[in-house]
Amino acid sequence: MKYADQLHATVERLAIGLGWPLVLADGNVYLPTSRGIVGLVVPARFGGWVDAEFDRRGIVAATLALPDGTWAFLVEDPGVQHPPVPSGVFVVDGPSYLPVPPSVTVGGPVRWVREPRTDVRPLPPFREALDVVCQLSPRRA
């Protein structure tokens, strides 16, 4: 599929299908954070454990693999200042942006670990996702 067709499909699925705000810039697609969505970002080596625990608990979160070696779990914006996060974990809140596939940043391509779903709540609550990260981080991070 041509890159332009991939961009069109992304806009159709995320903006039209899920109602997510998107920004097109420099030939890439970006998701603005703090408009109901934030990224809970963990090192990729830790992301698999978080993803597996989400699965076990029935938490569905669209997840990005970013070229800097991190995974960004897309979660609901808590609407208030977020609580402290474990070392090595950070929150991309606003105003900021997360690139989404098929974007290719200076560091490389962005890919989905888990694509957003339209058949379930697309964004888990921030606190629920952070609880998983906090419970796993002392043992795994």
What is the extent of the structural domain holding 115? 3-140
Question: CB under 8 Å to 114, separation ≥6 — which residues?
Answer: 51, 60, 61, 62, 63
Say yes or no to pLDDT of 139 above 60.
no
Instruction: Report how far residue 57's alpha carbon sits from residue 8's, in angstroms, rounded to the nearest whole number.
Output: 33
**pLDDT tens per residue, range 74-117:** 999 877 777 888 888 999 998 899 999 999 999 999 999 999 98
pTM of the model: 0.92
% pLDDT > 70, the chain: 97
**Edge-to-edge, what's the strand order for the sheet holding 97-100?**
23-25, 28-32, 97-100
- CA geometry: angle 90, 99, 24, nearest 5 deg: 140
Residue in this structure with the two tokens 């391509």, named with its chain if needed: 109
Total structural domains within the chain: 1
